[in-house]
A = this chain, B = another copy of it.
Amino acid sequence: MARILITSGPTRQYLDPVRYLTNASSGRMGRALAEAVIQAGHEAVIVSGPVEIDYPPEAEVHPILSTEDLLEECLSLFPDCDGMFGVAAPCDYRPIKTAAQKLSKTGSGLVMNLIETPDVIAMLGSIKQHQWIVAFALETQDQRIRAQQKLERKNADLIVLNGPDALDSTQTQVEVINPQGAVLADLEGKKSDVAAELFALVRRQFAHSFGQASA
């Protein structure tokens, strides 16, 4: 039995106690992958930002809020896992500081100085031992080139490229790209079906993790 880490959902980066930066990630692809993992008899460990969906009861779920929380939780869980799907859409910028009180409107503008949050997958990619890492990339232009650059920067083993239409949707369309830039699969349909096919591909690619030559 393999133990698979799945990051899922969005993260939030707060400007003040009320307002935050985020995105519309719903957690549905993370849930679909957890279901595929569990149905195949493996363990799903989910680190998830705030989502409205329910994860499978068999999954071990660790809720987080910010990208920093996501990193901390993953650093603690990753060493005991055999591989991971980085499906979360972490907010990758944060205000330099979060105001302790709600910012009041003054009638004039506001300059928000943002800095990048840590790249969670790249951090895990830099410390991985036996684990495989499947990252996700959401791109709106030069999609394949950017996805492959991300794969390299994150030291991932595969990258799953999708577009913004996948956010907060039940459907998706993805390309699975390897470090050589080859498109191993082009999957389209319900997230549950795409997740099942993606997990089957992962079991073939990283058969060593699943204790057998092919699953």
Contacts and interface: CB of A to CB of B under 8 A. Distances in A.
A93 B110 contact: yes
Interface stretch (A14-22, A75-83, A175-183): A14-22
A20 B19 contact: no
A1 interface: no
A108 B113 CA distance: 11
Contact of A116 (B91, B109, B112, B140): B109
Interface in A97-143: 101-102, 104-105, 107-116, 119, 138-141
16 contacts: A17-B140, A17-B164, A18-B140, A19-B93, A21-B21, A22-B22, A24-B50, A93-B110, A101-B140, A109-B114, A109-B115, A109-B116, A110-B116, A111-B113, A111-B114, A112-B114
